[in-house]
Amino acid sequence: MSDEFAQFQEAFFEEAAEHLAIVEEGLLALEQYPKDLELLAKIFRSAHSIKGASGMFGFNAVTQFTHKMETLLDLLRNGEKAVSPPIADLLLKSTDCLKALIEAVKSGGAVDDEVVQRLTAELASASGAQPPAVPQKQSVAVSPQSASQERSYLIKWTPPEWLFQRGLDPLQVLKELNGFGDLSSVTLDMSRVPDLAEIDPEKCYLSWELQLLTGKDQKTIESVFEFVHEDSTLSIEEIRSQESGVRSNAAYDSIPSITPHPSSLRPQEDGGPKPLGTILVESGVVSPAVLEQALSQQKRVGEILVEQKAVTPRQLEQALNTQRQQEAASHTKKTDTTSIRVDTAKIDKLINLVGELVITQSMLSDLGSRFEIKQLPVLLERVAQLERNTREIQERVMGIRMLPIGTAFSRFPRLVRDLSTKAGKKIQLVLSGEETELDKTVIESIGDPLTHLVRNSADHGLEPPEERLDNNKSEVGTIRLNAFHEGGSICITVEDDGRGLSRDKIIAKAIKQGLIGENEKLSDDQIWPLIFRPGFSTAEKVTDVSGRGVGMDVVKRNIEALGGTVSIKTVTGKGTTFTLKLPLTLAIIEGMTVRVGKETYIVPLLSILESIQPKAGTIKTVVGKGELINVRGTYLPMIRMYEVFILEPEYTNPMKSILLILETEGERVAVMVDEILGQQQVVIKSMEQNFRKVEGIAGATILGDGTVGFILDVRGLLEIARQGTPVSAVA
């Protein structure tokens, strides 16, 4: 597969994902507005685009299944059928199946054939057509017993003129037929081709006549032509002569890409798929000597091996299929990259800024060649201009990675619909702030935490309709997802109008699990975070949605891994709101620059609660717990950074130093530093890629003076202090 063709395929998979999202969103909206013809047309166009593009690449399973969906959608669009809940449900299940088919093509995996056949039959039935016959599974090798049961068919096919206009490839039909058995006497008829001046390049004027030896029945053969049967002429006749059992490999020369050239059998040096010859030898079909003789003749391997009766055409095709699967798997590994679509307006602005940067650089070069001390003000002005240009370019480049969070929200209408059906509840989802932009990496990472929170709200938070009516509420529960900017961060709230968290249940469960003592007095702010503990759940019974206590701890762990925080606000009988606070990007963070001795560190701003200078008598030493500091009545553990990282500090007396009050995973700690230098944005550089992994250090950055500053991992710092094993970040 050429790199150019691989790029086209990647583009297809990206566009298919976008079209599938449009289809799913449209179908969900269609349940609410079943008579919206414009919405139906939009869904139909996306399905049609998937069918046409998949046909171009020869993804027949995708093409045929989408054709079934398209047929039903066309009936709905034309008013011949009405949108009903069963039809909407069938189309949504079919969309899931189509996703699985496309993913299988992309990854070289497999799909559940029974599900595909069942949904195909249901789509055909809903469209008023006879369900297609379920084809029997093809045997791998041809035995003498099975060969005697094979029949020969003469197939004459004239495709419709619109074939190319829909992006369909007739050769894929021939390749699929070849998988049923042995093709021979493939004849291309070009008698319908008009004069050159009259040819329409978007029309098909070709016809084929071919002979197929197969164990399949006629209905199965007809099913191959089903998606191109409209306006086409098709004739399938069984040949009952003695010659029908004679095999020929002429089809392998007639169908492109079926038989490889001997060069494709040479060993691969890049760890890619095994050569076809190796596959044939390893499977015991041919001996190395027979293969070597075939290669020495410099003919098509398929032709030589079949002529020598060393393999049957089916055995060869099986080996070819194995090679194709290995090529697909190898290609997937090599091209496992992600892409992003960027608004051209962003690119245009970036290009303009680069132009200004070039002009500024030219001005500085010109000034440098004839610089005099009296021109110092001009130099300072142009350096300031260079700084402005650089900062703006940085912002624009980061903006390229920013995507609307609506791309992460789009999965939840379908999720809430399915959850409401399973739980027997009436739930509506309200989305807002979808246009709020967030770094692509962050968007990809928050999908699972948001899913857990939405599932938790649907299962635990919202009551059944009868309970809501008894409490003078609407029987329809509401879950709200909202995103908005707050300072240099983004906040995402998941809110429901359900029962709210039960303080008594949480306390009882926490005492049972030994998380708190029976007589321990805790505030609400200390109780609510207990639900994030691993294995913690107040559910009375385990369902397939929740109850095992493995969801909320994932939420907190994943969000804090992104440098964010989770907070809870709840009112009994009114509902609960979870608020996720996240950095806009993972490449740049807001940090507080601090100094310990001669070393500079950056503390993530999201982790800092406050900074204080302790007074005499506020620090105590407790046996087994180390140093504690009294902060407004609460004792917090104190960590001396110079002891953790083996540094020479300026101050060892806490009364002369600064204490940063930091929070991580619900725990607070006071960290002692010599000086706070200021707040700034820093670009994160990986320690592991550029140096080595260092405990307590999340990354590094280059400071304004060219030196390296270490970015603190607050959780790691706390663990090192507890273990009492100092580390060196520069050793």
Among the ranges given (238-247, 550-559, 689-698), the one the predictor scored with the smallest mean pLDDT: 238-247
Q: How far out from the chain centre does Cα 672 lie?
A: 42
CA distance 211 to 246: 11
The number of C-alpha atoms within 13 Å of 36 and in the hemisphere containing its C-beta is: 15
CA distance 659 to 674: 9
Quote the tokens at residue 17. Answer: 């994902």
What is the sign, positive or negative, of the torsion defined by CA atoms of 299, 301, 302, 304?
A: positive
Residue that wins the pLDDT comparison between 691 and 577 = 577
CA atoms lying within 13 Å on the CB side of residue 198: 5
- Condensed to tens digits (0 to 9), the pLDDT of residues 317-364 reads 777 666 666 655 554 444 444 667 777 888 888 888 888 888 888 888
Greater confidence, 407 or 261?
A: 407
Cα–Cα distance for residue pair 615/629, rounded to 1 Å? 10
Residue 128's region, left for phi above 0, alpha for psi from -120 to 50, else beta, is left
Q: Classify domain 588-723 by CATH number.
A: 2.40.50.180
pLDDT of residue 171: 76
- Please work out, in degrees rounded to the nearest 5, the angle formed at the alpha carbon of residue 595 by the alpha carbons of 716 and 563: 35
Transcribe 668-700 into DSSP letters.
EEEEEESEEEEEEEEE-B-HHHHS---TTEEEE
**In the predicted structure, residue 594 carries a pLDDT above the cut 90:** yes
Confidence band for 227, pLDDT divided at 50, 70 and 90:
low
User: Please, are residues 181 and 212 in contact by the beta-carbon 8 Å criterion?
Assistant: yes
Q: What is the pLDDT of residue 213?
A: 84
pLDDT at 680 over 80: yes
pLDDT at residue 701 greater than cutoff 80: yes
Mean pLDDT of 447-466: 90
Eight-class DSSP state of 108: T
Task: Give the Cβ contact number of residue 407 at 10 Å.
Answer: 15
Report which of 342, 367, 713 is spatially closest to residue 563, judged by C-alpha positions. 713
pLDDT digits (tens, 9 = 90+) for 413-447: 989 998 888 888 999 999 999 888 888 888 888 88
pLDDT at 19 over 80: yes
Mean per-residue pLDDT, 213-237: 77
Given a cut of 90, whether residue 578 has pLDDT beyond it is yes
144-334, CATH topology level: Alpha-Beta Plaits (3.30.70)
- Which comes out higher in pLDDT, residue 726 or 335? 726
The backbone region for 617, taken as left when phi is positive above 0, alpha when psi lies in -120 to 50, beta otherwise, is left
- Choose the weakest-confidence range: 213-217, 231-235, 256-260, 687-691: 256-260
| Angle at 23 (CA atoms; ends 19, 28), nearest 5 degrees | 150
pLDDT of residue 211 exceeding 70, the answer is yes
Cβ-based neighbour number of residue 516 at 10 Å:
17
217-232: b (≥16 Cβ within 10 Å) or e: eeebbebbbebbbeeb
**Within 10 Å of residue 543's Cβ, how many Cβ atoms?**
11
The highest-level CATH class for domain 3-126 is mainly alpha
Tell me the two tokens of residue 647. Answer: 């540094």
Model confidence band, residue 231 (pLDDT cutoffs 50, 70, 90): low
Which of 209-223, 535-549, 578-592, 653-667 has the lowest average pLDDT?
Answer: 535-549
Between 524 and 268, where is the model more confident? 524
Average pLDDT, the chain: 79
Task: Of 336-345, 409-418, 562-571, 626-635, give the lowest mean pLDDT range.
Answer: 336-345
Quick one: tokens of 282?
Answer: 């390893």
pLDDT over 90 at 563, yes or no: no
- Predicted local distance difference test score (pLDDT) of residue 665: 67
Between CA 142 and CA 213 the distance in angstroms is 12
- H or E element that contains 600: strand 599-604
Most confident of 116-125, 543-552, 557-566: 116-125
What are the strands of the beta sheet with 426-432, ordered from one edge? 426-432, 476-486, 489-496, 575-583, 565-571
**Identity of the residue numbered 198:** E
How much is the pTM? 0.57
Q: Please identify which residue in the block is written with the tokens 């206590």.
A: 549
Higher-pLDDT residue of 204, 300: 204
Long-range contacts of 15-24 (CB under 8 A, 24+ apart): 15/49, 15/53, 16/50, 16/53, 16/54, 16/102, 17/102, 19/46, 19/47, 19/49, 19/50, 20/46, 20/50, 20/95, 20/98, 20/99, 20/102, 21/410, 22/46, 23/47, 23/95, 24/92, 24/95, 24/414
CATH 3.40.50.300 fits 404-583, yes or no: no
The structure tokens 């507080």 sit at 592
DSSP string, 65-80: HHHHHHHHHHHHHTTS
Higher pLDDT residue, 5 or 198? 198
As a whole number, mean pLDDT of residues 118-137 equals 68
Higher pLDDT, 15 or 706: 15
Which secondary structure element, helix H or strand E, spans residue 185, and what is its range?
strand 181-189
| pLDDT tens string 233-278 | 888 888 765 444 434 444 333 333 333 333 333 344 444 556 666 6
Mean pLDDT on 525-537: 80
